[in-house]
Amino acid sequence: MNAPKHILPTTVVGSYPQPEWLVDSAMLSKSVPRTRMQGIWRVPEAYLEQAQDDATVVAIRDMERAGIDIVTDGEIRRESYSNRFATALEGIDANNPAIIMSRSGQATPVPRVVDKIRRARPVELRDMEFLRRNTDHLAKITLPGPFTMSQQAKNEFYSDEEELAMAFAEAVNAEALDLQKASADIIQLDEPWVRNNPQLAKRYAAKAINRALSGLTVPTIVHLCFGYAAVVPGSTKPAGYSFLAELADTPPIRFRSKPRNRSSTSECSGICHRRKSCSAFSISAIPRSRRRRLLPIASGMA
């Protein structure tokens, strides 16, 4: 294993630019899909998995050539950071979505929760195994957080949103434990909705996060977000993180501000350890003209 020995190892936070031959980026840039958006893929279904594997290898090699210490699979196989995992769970009706209005007034299809949430099969296990086979660097994989998934679905089964979030947490935990067995060196939860709905998050988000990470022995990260620059108008962005101190009793957290457009990314990120100050902080950008080059983002490890 090519483990870094320097003080501040580098990693990427989220998605890596998907090549135009693989996805219709113009279609994807219009929204962050909550249900499946199969129409973005340019490759026929019979060859899609192989094409996604090829694009994943390209992303891994880009990160390695750029000197990234902790690589990911780039989330190349995903239409968004959350919909692939959420819609793979039992109890979810993704084929007959509900329509909700986003804060920007946009009608958004979301999956309906119609029965008990259950992870019947691994969702990202093959992704992790593929990543592990194709790099000798430390490997990180990301999962959508339980609070965020509970906010991106229409609850038609559970008694309240907290019960729904805890059900998602159990499913995430089962997946995370399998990813750990598959030699994931770091596991990251994406929880941007604790910023979107901080008052509700203060009631039970930390509890759900702790349940999702229960039993893990590898370093863990929780990723917060200011929202996508390409989607959220600048005038509506908050001046600071409204949900940060509440995570003091969870594992180490990471936070960032990142736009939606995979091919043009600016980030502000850092690591905070439990009851300690930030140990790393960095700002970087990936303009379209340099999509094959990746600027490292400083990241600490637990």
User: Could you read off the pLDDT of 67-114 as tens digits, one per residue?
Assistant: 999 999 999 999 999 999 999 999 999 889 999 876 667 788 999 999
Pick the closest to residue 260 from 72, 27, 77, 84 (CA basis). 27
d(CA 159, CA 276): 37
Query: How far apart, in whole angstroms, are the C-alpha atoms of residue 256 and residue 271?
Result: 10
- What was the pLDDT predicted at 232? 63
Mean pLDDT of the chain: 81
Q: Residue 29 in contact with residue 37, Cβ under 8 Å?
A: no
Q: Which has more confidence, 42 or 235?
A: 42
Q: What is the pLDDT of residue 300?
A: 33
Out of 114-123, 157-166, 188-197, 272-281, least confident range: 272-281
Alpha-carbon radius of gyration of the chain: 18
Look at the pTM and tell me if it is higher than 0.85: no
CA-based nearest residue to 82, from 142, 12, 169: 142
**What stretches of the chain adopt beta strand conformation (E)?**
10-11, 70-71, 90-101, 107-118, 138-144, 154-155, 186-190, 220-225, 253-256, 265-272, 278-286, 297-298
Residue 175 vs residues 78, 118, 131, 194, 275: alpha-carbon distances, Å: 16, 11, 16, 21, 27
pLDDT, residue 281, reads: 29
| DSSP-H helix ranges across the chain | 25-28, 45-65, 83-86, 125-133, 146-151, 161-181, 193-196, 198-212
% of the chain residues with pLDDT over 90: 57
* Cα–Cα distance for residue pair 178/165, rounded to 1 Å: 20
* Under 8 Å between Cβ of 242 and 200: no
Which tokens is 254 given?
Answer: 């990471």
* Mean per-residue pLDDT, 156-161: 97
Does position 285 have pLDDT exceeding 50, yes or no? Answer: no
For 236-275, letters b (16+ CB in 10 Å) and e give eeeeebbbeebbeebbbbbbbbbbbbbbbbebebbbbeee
Q: Taking the CB of residue 281, how many other CB atoms lie within 10 A of it?
A: 16
Banded pLDDT at 289 (limits 50, 70, 90): very low
> Residue 266 pLDDT > 90, yes or no?
no
pLDDT average, residue stretch 54-74: 96
The tokens describing 129, both together, are 């195994």
Torsion of the alpha carbons at 12, 17, 23 and 25, rounded to the nearest 10 = 120
pLDDT in the model for residue 238: 66
Domain annotation for the chain: domains and CATH numbers: 12-298 (3.20.20.210)
